[in-house]
Amino acid sequence: MRWFQDKLLLGVLPLTVRGALRDVMAGVSLASMNAPQVLGYTRIAGTPVVTGLYTVLLPLVLFSIFGASRHLVVAADSATAAIFSTALAPMAALGSPKYMALVGMLTLQTACLLLLARLFRLGFLADFLSRTTLVGFLAGVGVQVSVAMAPDMLGLTVSTRRTLGQIQEIVARLGQVRMLELALATGVVVAILAGRRLAPRFPVPLVVVAGLIAASAWFDFAGHGVAVIGPTPGGLPSLVWPDVTWSETLALLPVAGSCVVMILAQSAATSRVYAIKYGERPDANADILGLAAANAGAAITGAFVVNGSPTQTAMADSSGARSQVAQITFAVIVAIILLVLTGPLQYLPHAVLAGIVFTIAVNMIDIRGLRAIYAESPGECGLAVLTAAAVPCIGVEQGILLAIALSLIRHVRHSYRPHVSVLAPGASGRWEPAPARAGLQTAPGLIVYRFGADLFYANADGFADTAQALVAAAPSPVRDLVIDASATTNIDFSAARVFRALIEKLQQRGVQVVMGRVSNGLRADLERHGVAAALGENRIFPTLHEALEAVGVDYHQGMAPLRPDVAGGLPAV
């Protein structure tokens, strides 16, 4: 029992009676707000409406058992739904048995890949999708989903799932708009958006859906040409095994990989935010195990890929949920709905579901976040906007690959062109870091040079060229080049060759090279690659002040020369 408490139910235990009652009430509130929305996610996923309820049944319970986060709500999510529906649409008709089999296999593959990620502790992969590009990607998905919902909101039918093609068809058929469905969708959007602002804890979606289901049944919306969901199967889901061919299974793997990247990035970010908020310790690897179990449960119960949802987690938190008891309560309420309340769903208009999803999509476009990025870094905001534009223009799966590529390029660019500085006399007379430029010198005969990145094959030449340029353009002959290695933790084979060549060239000019703030790991690299031998004995120090004292500078007394010679330089050591 102790092992079970330590390894499982991390999101539930420890729990008090008062806390349990609080979370049960929060779960009821969460169900009232989220049940209509998970129905709406099926419009993005291209699956039968009832599968939205399936995503908050067994998957929620399994994550509560195996996951670590006490706050994360794992259920249907618009981003992952958009990823797989876009990729699977050419393979089978949406909602068809074949399509559902493909969705089931994709969800199972996602679960297996997540399990592998847990076994090999690959949670760090989520970090390759930067916050900047994630904001842009989700904004792009929001635009794509908004456009995809427009035909249902307008009572139109389009023949393509490509965003640009949908826009063209909608514009061409504006004269065929059904005003009743437009009115229904507009009313839903206005009511939900107003409710979020004026009464965020009031279950506006539930009230809207219940009211319009009743109105549809009473006034026979279907008889007036309004498209409705139709008969919805009731009862708990049956266990199924996806029936797909081997070639189809292989074709689904890249799509599952895209879903896994999004799940890792989005779930890890969301769970980390709430763990920090409540002073808890996040456990990304345990959460990955919970996500794998949740997706396995979704696959065998006829649902689709589930993810840690930021919007639903925020709703749970605002409802007062502090443990997974709230999510388990949500699952119990959904089970009751499936057993006795699916009959009325047949009267729900498609325009109403589309309106609900439209509000979700609009919420994904984080204008405030984009503005914050632009205020601090216009270049990064450009990357976010480029990612956002890529999703509707070239596709969701390609958009996420582009987002990852841009994140990596941004990282490599910073490593390729890092900040380089020189300690130079400041306004106060003391040495201060200044951007490296020709003619800058720390003191007569001395340059303290800092390169702000690890040394590797791509940036080694820049490191050496800058050092030589500083020495060549110094106002007085340089005798000592002290390298501040505080930002350098390792050096590769190619960079070591460049570094040794630099040392030789500087020594030929009468300049000795000394290194300070060298970590143990970097020192081992320097010794292994022969750089330490090229520097000579006693030229590598763990602190900067030791390196400076080795060349005759008192680091502690205003960093003034200890033994300046007649020429004003510093003596060689």
Per residue in 424-439, pLDDT tens?
Answer: 887 777 888 888 888 8
Output the CA torsion sign for 498, 504, 506, 508. Answer: negative
224 DSSP assignment: G
Q: How far is CA 510 from the centre of its chain?
A: 51
The pLDDT tens digits for 314-351 are 777 767 777 788 888 888 988 998 888 778 888 888 88
Distance, CA of 237 to CA of 346 (rounded, Å): 18
**How much is the average pLDDT of 268-274?**
72
pLDDT at residue 272, rounded to an integer: 72
Joined tokens for residue 539: 């030229």
**How much is the average pLDDT of 441-468?**
90
Distance, CA of 327 to CA of 425 (rounded, Å): 60
Joined tokens for residue 554: 């008192």
Question: Which residue blocks in 120-244 are alpha helix, DSSP H?
Answer: 131-154, 163-172, 179-198, 204-219
Homologous superfamily (CATH) of 418-561 is: STAS domain (3.30.750.24)
Closest CA to 45 of 394, 353, 365: 353
Residue located via tokens 């998957």: 59
Distance, CA of 460 to CA of 389 (rounded, Å): 35
- The per-residue pLDDT of the chain, averaged, comes to 83
**How much is the average pLDDT of 361-388?**
84
**How much is the average pLDDT of 137-152?**
83
The pLDDT tens digits for 516-559 are 999 999 999 999 999 999 998 788 999 998 898 888 876 554 44
Answer whether residue 171 shows pLDDT above 70.
yes
Joined tokens for residue 251: 């074709």
Comparison of pLDDT for 283 and 538, the residue scoring more:
538
Comparison of pLDDT for 382 and 396, the residue scoring more:
382
Half-sphere exposure of 203 (CA within 13 A, CB side): 19
Calculate ∠ Cα 370-373-375, nearest 5°: 110
Rg of the chain over Cα atoms, rounded to whole angstroms, equals 30
Looking at the chain, the domain(s) classified CATH 3.30.750.24 span 418-561
The pLDDT tens digits for 186-233 are 998 998 888 878 877 777 777 888 888 899 889 888 888 888 887 878
311 and 363 Cβ atoms separated by less than 8 Å: yes
Question: Which residue blocks in 301-349 are alpha helix, DSSP H?
Answer: 310-318, 325-340
132 and 373 Cβ atoms separated by less than 8 Å: yes
Strand partners, 349: 228
Distance, CA of 402 to CA of 392 (rounded, Å): 13
Joined tokens for residue 40: 């709406």
Comparison of pLDDT for 497 and 417, the residue scoring more:
497
Distance, CA of 266 to CA of 260 (rounded, Å): 10
Joined tokens for residue 402: 């582009």
Burial 27-46 (b: 16+ CB within 10 A, else e): bbbbbbbbbbbbbbbbbbbb
